[in-house]
Amino acid sequence: MKKLNESVLAEGEVTGHAHRLPSTVDVFEADNGEREFCTETAIPLTHEEHGEITIPPGDYSSDKVVEYDHFSEQARKVAD
């Protein structure tokens, strides 16, 4: 697990948009790309294009949805 410099759960490659938590929240990333964070209060998860979600207090994991690439015949995380 490594601590990320920014409190971001995922970043868009072609938009520059990000799924972002308040900067006071530490986000850690595992080798498989899954990210974790802990919050003692309800916090907003924001994104430039999607509606805000309020995350209740707790320990959380997060990751991107996956899609199946029929050409490489393997599942991969959705890139946006």
CB of 73 to another protein, least distance (A): 10
CB of 19 to another protein, least distance (A): 5
Which residues have a Cβ under 8 Å from the Cβ of 50 and sit 6 or more positions away?
19
* Residue whose tokens read 């949805």: 65
Task: Please give the residue ranges that form the binding site for another protein (CB under 8 A).
Answer: 5-6, 9-10, 12-15, 17, 19, 32, 34, 36, 45, 47-53, 55, 58-71, 75-80
CB of 2 to another protein, least distance (A): 14
Q: Is 77 helix (H, G, I), strand (E, B) or coil?
A: strand
- Name which of 50, 80, 78 is nearest 66 in CA terms: 78
